[in-house]
Amino acid sequence: MKTVLVTGFEPFGGETINPSWEAVKPLQGCQIAGANIEVCQLPCVFDISLEQLYAVIELVKPEVVISVGEAGNRSNISVERVAINVNDARIPDNLGQQPIDTPVIVGGPSAYFSTLPIKTIANELNNAGIPATVSQTAGTFVCNHVMYGLLHYLNQRPPAMRGGFIHVPYLPEQATRHSGAPSMAVEMVTAALKIAIESALRNETDITISGGATN
Ligand code: PCA
């Protein structure tokens, strides 16, 4: 049976929960499109997050890896297109590290593209009534770091495993503490991730569409 690894993050930036982990957690042991789902929580810490991710990948040997993180200012599920070889932290990570303009991987390429069918996923989410978009930046904090490190790792290891990153909004309970911030219910985020997993398993290549579903 195929395995899909889905990761979420621990809380950071003064929050007591992270919507990515709250939405990913219930997927442990689920079977989706003939695949077994394994989940894991990553620390919001540069470098150690990647060490843990690599260790779990070696353990569960997934066909597909989807990492998920919080993007509190966004109203949509954001299917990330690209990770860049830059750490540029606006705030310290959970170990107090705040790298500025350093590479994720010394000597690595400038960027990696997601190998998930990003537009297909965004399209299917919107068709299911879940607001989604393709995002052109995963930022320069720990989420971009993990996405870049994941794609670098997958790129080095044939047979090709596929992977990518999805940012999710605050949960409503977080938004109550950030006046005006957008939010999405955890059940909707979990449903979105199930659709994304199924879509990633069924579609090895992406569709070509502009605008519309992807904003
Ligand atoms: N979001 C942060 C890191 C962890 C998380 O959930 C980010 O967007 O970089």
Per residue in 130-173, pLDDT (tens digit) is 999 999 999 999 999 999 999 999 999 867 799 999 999 999 99
The CB density around residue 116, as the number of other CB atoms within 10 Å, is 26
Instruction: Tell me: pLDDT of 64 over 50.
Output: yes
Query: 């996405």: which residue's tokens?
Result: 147
Q: How far apart are CA 60 and CA 175, in angstroms?
A: 35
Per residue in 102-133, pLDDT (tens digit) is 999 999 999 999 999 999 999 999 999 999 99
Q: Which residue segments constitute the domains of the chain, with CATH numbers given?
A: 3-202 (3.40.630.20)
For the chain, the 3-state helix, strand and coil shares in percent, each to the nearest 5, are 35, 25, 45
Ligand 1 centroid from CA 59, angstroms: 24
Q: Do 37 and 89 touch, CB atoms closer than 8 A?
A: no
Q: Quick one: what percent of the chain has pLDDT higher than 70?
A: 97
Ligand 1 atom nearest the C-alpha of 141 is 9
DSSP assignment letter at 168? E
Band (211; pLDDT cuts 50, 70, 90): low
CA–CA distances in Å: residue 56 to residues 6, 49, 124, 199: 10, 11, 28, 23
Average pLDDT over residues 19-38: 98
Per residue in 175-207, pLDDT (tens digit) is 999 999 999 999 999 999 999 999 999 999 999
Active site residue 152: no
Catalytic residue, chosen from 70, 80, 124, 145, is 80
State whether the beta carbon of 164 lies less than 6 angstroms from ligand 1: no
